[in-house]
C-alpha cells in the first residue's frame, strides 16, 4: 500500500476522537417534525457535532457508549438521553470499567427514528447493532470513509467505484499499514444494509476537519500561516484538495435524516471561492492568510525537491498528496450525488478561522501536543536548501538562435 494512503487511513481512523464543537445552521429551512436520534459513540469529534446540529433543529438525541470519553472531555449536555454499554459483545470486560461488561441490552425496547453509527469499524459489531435496532429504527446512518475505495488513481471517480476487499473478512485488526481499514469499513456498510435493506445511508467522509480536530493535520495550516513569514508550501498552488468541515458533515447527516434519504454518498470537497466544486492547496493557504490577516508568503517547492529533502506528503506537509500515479484521483472525487442530496459547504475561510480560534483557546501547554506537520527548524532548513539550490544551479546554455545573434 502506498505510504501516503497509509498515513491518510491512520489519521482518518482517529477522526472520531476530539472535542465538542458548535454547529451552524446551513440547512435553514423550517425543521421537519422532531425526530428521535440515537448516536452510537457520540462523545468524540463528529458525535458532538451531530448532537449540536440535531438540537439546533429541534430533535432529541440519545447517546450509547461506555461513558469513558465523556468523562475526559466533559461533553455531557442537558436534554441528551444516555445509555451505557459496550457494543462489542466479544470484548473482554474491564474490571475498572463497569460499562464494559454490558452489551447492547440497554437499547432493547426503545424506538428511534434514526441511528447514527459513528463508531463502527468491524462488520461483526455493526451487524449486531443494526440487527438489534432494525425492528425499532426507521433509518441507519453509517459513517464510513472514502478509504473504502480500492483505487485512488482515477480522477473524478464517484461512489460506483469498486471498494477494497480483505482476504480474510473475519480479521479485526487494521494491519501494520492500515491496509484493512477501508475494506473493513466497506464490510460494515454491507452489514448494515443486510440488516436493514433499503433503510441505510452510508456516508463516506474524507478527512474531517475543523475546530476540535484531534489529528492536528488541517490545524497545522491555519496555525502555521498565522505565524507569518515564509511558509514552505508543497507542490503547486493548483494541486487538488478535498476534506469536509465537521460542522457541515454533521448538519448534512441531520438533513439526510429529516429527508429520509438512503444510499451511498461521499462527503468531501469544499467549494472554491466561485462557489463551484474544485478546491486546491493554493486556495487553502490563501484562506488561512485571510482568516488570520498574517504577513505570510508562500514558497511552493516541487515534489521532486521535497522528496529529495525527505519531506513527506501528508505527514510533514499535512493534507497534501501529489496528484500523480496511484494518487492521481485521491483529492478529485466526484460528489455531485452528495450535492444533489443537500450537502452544503461553508467557505473554507470560515473553517480556517474557527479552527484557529479553537486552537488558541486550548491551554498553551497543550496546543502543540496534537499539532501535526513539519517542525519550524526543519522547515527553515528545507527553505534554506531550496534557495541555495537556485544559487548553485549552473547557468543555462544560451539557445542556438541566441548564440547566432551574438
Complete domains list, the chain, with CATH: 3-213+242-277+328-347 (3.40.50.720)
Residue 343 clears pLDDT 60, i.e. is over it: yes
Banded pLDDT at 97 (limits 50, 70, 90):
low
197: buried, middle or exposed (CB in 10 Å: 19+, 13-18, 0-12)? exposed
Q: Are 319 and 308 in contact (CB under 8 A)?
A: no
pLDDT of residue 8: 46
Residues in the chain: 406
Phi, psi (rounded to 5 degrees) for 136: -125, 15
SS3 state of residue 389: helix
**CA-to-CA dists, residue 356 to 5, 209, 315, 361, angstroms:** 27, 12, 20, 9
Sequence-separated (6 or more) residues with CB below 8 Å from residue 197 = none
Distance, C-alpha 373 to centroid of its chain: 17
Predicted confidence at residue 244, as pLDDT, reads 96
In this predicted structure, the answer to whether residue 2 has a pLDDT above a threshold of 80 is no
At residue 67, the pLDDT reads 74
pLDDT band for position 369 (cuts 50, 70, 90): confident
Question: What confidence tens digit (pLDDT) does each residue in 220-247 have?
Answer: 999 999 999 999 999 999 999 999 999 9
Q: Does 69 have pLDDT greater than 80?
A: no
Residues with Cβ within 8 Å of residue 135, at least 6 apart in sequence: none
CA–CA dist 222, 77 (Å, integer): 29
> Looking at residue 100, what is its pLDDT?
53
Query: Band of the pLDDT at 307, cuts 50, 70, 90?
Result: very high
Q: Which of 103-117, 296-310, 352-366, 391-405 has the lowest mean pLDDT?
A: 391-405
Q: Which of the residue ranges 44-58, 59-73, 283-297 would you say has the lowest mean pLDDT?
A: 59-73
- Separation between Cα atoms, residue 83 and residue 62, nearest integer Å: 7
State the pLDDT confidence band at 336, using cuts at 50, 70 and 90.
very high
Over residues 10-44, the pLDDT tens digits come to 444 434 333 333 333 344 456 668 999 999 988 88
Q: Give me 220's grid cell.
A: 497545522
* Grid coordinates belonging to 229: 513569514
CB 104 within 8 A of CB 89: yes
Cα angle 20, 24, 26; round to 5: 140
Phi, psi of 337 (to 5 degrees): -60, -40
pLDDT at residue number 38: 97
- Phi and psi, residue 317, nearest 5°: -115, 85
Residue 388, exposed/middle/buried by CB under 10 A (0-12, 13-18, 19+)? exposed
Q: Whole-prediction pTM value?
A: 0.86
pLDDT band, residue 249 (cuts 50/70/90): very high
Average pLDDT of 246-260? 97
CA distance 301 to 235: 6
Maximum separation of any 2 CA atoms in the chain, in Å = 92
Give the integer Cα–Cα distance in Å for 201 and 187.
Answer: 14
Report the share of the chain in percent with pLDDT over 90: 66
pLDDT band, very low/low/confident/very high, at 74 (cuts 50, 70, 90): very low
* Banded pLDDT at 400 (limits 50, 70, 90): low
Q: What is the mean pLDDT of residues 297-318?
A: 97
- 152-194 pLDDT, tens digit each: 999 999 999 999 998 888 888 888 877 889 999 999 999 999 9
Q: Given a cut of 50, is residue 110 above it in pLDDT?
A: yes
Residue 269 confidence (pLDDT): 77
- Answer yes or no: is pLDDT of 46 > 50: yes
Helix (H) or strand (E) holding 201: strand 200-205
Torsion, Cα 190 194 199 200, to 10 degrees, reads: -10
- 396 or 145, which is more confident: 145
**Which of 42-51, 268-277, 302-311 has the least mean pLDDT?**
268-277
Q: Which of residues 341 and 276 earns the better pLDDT score?
A: 341
Q: What is the mean pLDDT of the chain?
A: 85
Amino acid at each position: 500500500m502506498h505510504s501516503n494512503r497509509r498515513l491518510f487511513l491512520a489519521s482518518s481512523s482517529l477522526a472520531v476522537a476530539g472535542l465538542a464543537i458548535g454547529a451552524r445552521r446551513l440547512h435553514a429551512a423550517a425543521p421537519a417534525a422532531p425526530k428521535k436520534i440515537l448516536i452510537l459513540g457520540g462523545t468524540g469529534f463528529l458525535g458532538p457535532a451531530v448532537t449540536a446540529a440535531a438540537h439546533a433543529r429541534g430533535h432529541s438525541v440519545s447517546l450509547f457508549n461506555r461513558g469513558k470519553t465523556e468523562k475526559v472531555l466533559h461533553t455531557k449536555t442537558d436534554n441528551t438521553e444516555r445509555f451505557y454499554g459496550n457494543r462489542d459483545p466479544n470484548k473482554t470486560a474491564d474490571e475498572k470499567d463497569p460499562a464494559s461488561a454490558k452489551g447492547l441490552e440497554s437499547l432493547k425496547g426503545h424506538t428511534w427514528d434514526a441511528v447514527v453509527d459513528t463508531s463502527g469499524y468491524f462488520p461483526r459489531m455493526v451487524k449486531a447493532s443494526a440487527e438489534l435496532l432494525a425492528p425499532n429504527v426507521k433509518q441507519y446512518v453509517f459513517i464510513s470513509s472514502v478509504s473504502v475505495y480500492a483505487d485512488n488513481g482515477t480522477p473524478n471517480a464517484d461512489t460506483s467505484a469498486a471498494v477494497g476487499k480483505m482476504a480474510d473478512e473475519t480479521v479485526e485488526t487494521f494491519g501494520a499499514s492500515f491496509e484493512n481499514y477501508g475494506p473493513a469499513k466497506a464490510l460494515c456498510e454491507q452489514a448494515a444494509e443486510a440488516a436493514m435493506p433499503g433503510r441505510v445511508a452510508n456516508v463516506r467522509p474524507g478527512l474531517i476537519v475543523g475546530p476540535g480536530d484531534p489529528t492536528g493535520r488541517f490545524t497545522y495550516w491555519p496555525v502555521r500561516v498565522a505565524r507569518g513569514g515564509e511558509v514552505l508550501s508543497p507542490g503547486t498552488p493548483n494541486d487538488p484538495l478535498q476534506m469536509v468541515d465537521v460542522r457541515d458533515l454533521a448538519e448534512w447527516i441531520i438533513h439526510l435524516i429529516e429527508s429520509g434519504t438512503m444510499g451511498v454518498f461521499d462527503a468531501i470537497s469544499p467549494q472554491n471561492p466561485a462557489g463551484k466544486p474544485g478546491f486546491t492547496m493554493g486556495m487553502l493557504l490563501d484562506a488561512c492568510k485571510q482568516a488570520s490577516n498574517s504577513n505570510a508568503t508562500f514558497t511552493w517547492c516541487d515534489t521532486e525537491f521535497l522528496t529529495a529533502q525527505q519531506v513527506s506528503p501528508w505527514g510533514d506537509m499535512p493534507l497534501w498528496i501529489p496528484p500523480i500515479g496511484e494518487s492521481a484521483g485521491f483529492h478529485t472525487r466526484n460528489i455531485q450525488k452528495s450535492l444533489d442530496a443537500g450537502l452544503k459547504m461553508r467557505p473554507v475561510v470560515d473553517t480556517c478561522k474557527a479552527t484557529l480560534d479553537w486552537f488558541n483557546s486550548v491551554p498553551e501547554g497543550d496546543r502543540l501536543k496534537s499539532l501535526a506537520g513539519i517542525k519550524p527548524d526543519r522547515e527553515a532548513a528545507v527553505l534554506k536548501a531550496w534557495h541555495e539550490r537556485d544559487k548553485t544551479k549552473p547557468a543555462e546554455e544560451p539557445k542556438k538562435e541566441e548564440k547566432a545573434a551574438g
